[in-house]
């Protein structure tokens, strides 16, 4: 039976028997550093938890103290917002446009067999495992998935059937981290026979893994930059350069995690200088007791909106002027929490998500990665023969649309139903 380690407590740092056992487990210098770095994090959370406990205690023994505590809390939040805004404003001034000679890789063309009357975009979850642990990650990453790993042949067979039914598609592959799958080169090669692929990756791998092995004209990469995990921005930029100079279009994406916002301006600058598009995703979650994206300051919202660029994903929609409309439309739903309920939406008609189980759903609100949350809304299963996508836009039954790419399909979006059908 595996040894059950005693839980870490600060006092155990002074216990020779505990420390000798833990030190003996260390296998490398980086592991030693990693373990040492966990101590200040532990202390930080200890202090935070202590503050919450103290606040609860004071409220219990002296209920009248709620008022001054709330006032102090509001003051603290307002000061934090102000300081972040000042830092952000200072950095925004230094964002420079791309120089005219910046490397410019054309986006991949839409696949030849794409039906103009049914531009199909599918998001395919390939596996849950990831080699990073970002604190803002919205997914859990079980290393041993309950879903069997699919073979290259199984993907090839099922996607061929999908293409026969609905034409070629733009397929966006997402994990976990797709490139830690041993089969990934074979899978990408099979899927890109009739479709254009966009792979969402943390780019922790060597670009030589695909250069010369995959056709650049069919595959683009959405490289997510995670500063907590990726030590070197320079190294990351060099990888994107290498891929782009070998014909693989790369766009970079980042999460606008509130503490990162001031530094984000200089990260954006590093990519813009090379002519790379950057998509900034609003953070969806709680940070320091406040719900995001609602808690962004107006300057932060303005910054995120201005930094976003989407049209690369929709080759058929590259209409000058439309980009601004699409951008404003999608971000207003994310940042301002507008409700899509009742609006006609083409999710399901022009867009679908394929979950790890193979279940096909209209959008992320019906299922994120593992399984559909609303069984009655499963449109079928990619790995079985029984799937049919709806022919017409349907009203949205939700109060929030959580993904920038998906709110595109709502009435008023560029792929939404014609005017007149919209609610």
Binding site for ligand SF4 (CB under 6 A): 130, 132-134, 137, 139, 176-177, 202, 224, 226, 340, 345, 347, 362-363, 365, 396, 398, 401, 406-407, 409-410
Strand pairing of 250-256 and 278-282? parallel
| DSSP-based helix, strand, coil % in the chain, nearest 5 | 40, 15, 45
CB of 99: closest distance to ligand SF4 in angstroms?
30
Nearer to ligand SF4, 15 or 140 (CB): 140
Distance CA 257, CA 137 (A): 10
CB of 361: closest distance to ligand SF4 in angstroms?
9
Nearer to ligand SF4, 159 or 203 (CB): 203
Q: Which H or E element spans position 81? A: helix 66-92
* Contact of 179 with 188, CB cutoff 8 Å: no
Nearer to ligand SF4, 232 or 385 (CB): 232
CA distances in angstroms from 201 to 47, 48, 222, 234, 256, listed in the order given:
35, 33, 6, 17, 17
Strand pairing of 344-345 and 290-292? unpaired
Closest to 155 (Cα-Cα) out of 120, 108, 194, 119? 194
CB neighbourhood size of 371 (10 A): 15
Nearer to ligand SF4, 91 or 343 (CB): 343
CA distances in angstroms from 236 to 87, 132, 204, listed in the order given:
24, 15, 8
Say how far residue 5 (Cα) sits from the centre of its chain.
34
CB of 39: closest distance to ligand SF4 in angstroms?
23
CB of 160: closest distance to ligand SF4 in angstroms?
27
Q: What letter does residue 406 receive in the DSSP assignment? A: H
CB of 187: closest distance to ligand SF4 in angstroms?
18
CB of 69: closest distance to ligand SF4 in angstroms?
35
Nearer to ligand SF4, 301 or 362 (CB): 362
Strand partners, 372: 367
CB of 176: closest distance to ligand SF4 in angstroms?
6
CB of 95: closest distance to ligand SF4 in angstroms?
24
Q: Pick left, alpha or beta for residue 51 (phi over 0 → left; psi -120 to 50 → alpha; otherwise beta).
A: alpha
Nearer to ligand SF4, 92 or 354 (CB): 354
CB of 179: closest distance to ligand SF4 in angstroms?
11
Nearer to ligand SF4, 217 or 402 (CB): 402
Distance CA 334, CA 226 (A): 21
Distance CA 389, CA 315 (A): 22
Nearer to ligand SF4, 111 or 367 (CB): 367
Nearer to ligand SF4, 122 or 363 (CB): 363
Distance CA 7, CA 138 (A): 26
């Amino acid at each position: 039976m595996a040894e059950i380690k005693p839980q870490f407590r600060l006092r155990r740092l002074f216990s020779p028997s505990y420390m000798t056992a833990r030190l003996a487990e260390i296998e490398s210098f980086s592991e030693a550093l990693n373990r040492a770095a966990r101590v200040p994090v532990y202390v930080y959370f200890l202090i935070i938890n202590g503050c919450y406990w103290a606040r609860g205690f004071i409220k219990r023994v002296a209920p009248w103290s709620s008022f001054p505590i709330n006032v102090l809390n509001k003051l603290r939040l307002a000061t934090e917002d102000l300081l972040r805004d000042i830092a952000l404003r200072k950095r925004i001034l230094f964002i420079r446009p791309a120089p005219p000679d910046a490397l410019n890789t054309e986006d991949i063309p839409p696949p030849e067999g794409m039906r103009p009357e049914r531009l199909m975009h599918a998001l395919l979850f390939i596996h849950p495992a990831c080699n990073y642990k970002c604190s803002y990650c919205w997914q859990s990453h079980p290393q041993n998935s309950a879903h069997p790993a699919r073979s290259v042949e199984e993907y090839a067979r099922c996607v061929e059937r999908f293409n026969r039914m609905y034409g070629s598609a733009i397929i966006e592959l997402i994990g976990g981290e797709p490139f830690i799958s041993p089969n990934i080169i074979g899978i990408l090669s099979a899927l890109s026979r009739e479709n254009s692929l966009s792979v969402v990756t943390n780019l922790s791998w060597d670009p030589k893994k695909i250069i010369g092995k995959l056709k650049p004209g069919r595959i683009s990469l959405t490289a997510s930059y995670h500063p907590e995990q990726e030590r070197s921005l320079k190294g990351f930029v060099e990888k994107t350069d290498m891929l782009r100079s070998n014909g693989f279009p790369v766009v970079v994406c980042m999460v606008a995690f509130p503490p990162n916002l001031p530094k984000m301006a200089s990260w954006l600058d590093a990519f813009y200088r090379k002519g790379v598009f950057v998509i900034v995703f609003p953070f969806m979650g709680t940070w320091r007791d406040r719900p995001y994206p609602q808690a962004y300051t107006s300057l932060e919202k303005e910054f995120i909106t201005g930094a976003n660029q989407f049209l690369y994903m929709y080759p058929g929609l590259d209409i000058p002027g439309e980009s601004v409309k699409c951008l404003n439309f999608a971000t207003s739903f994310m940042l301002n929490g507008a409700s899509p309920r009742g609006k006609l939406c083409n999710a399901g008609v022009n867009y679908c998500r394929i979950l790890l189980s193979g279940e096909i759903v209209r959008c992320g609100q019906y299922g994120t990665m593992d399984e559909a949350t609303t069984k009655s809304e499963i449109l079928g299963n990619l790995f079985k023969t029984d799937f049919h996508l709806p022919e017409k836009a349907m009203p949205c039954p939700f109060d929030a649309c959580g993904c920038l790419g998906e709110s595109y399909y709502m009435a008023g979006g560029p792929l939404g139903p014609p005017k007149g059908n919209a609610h």
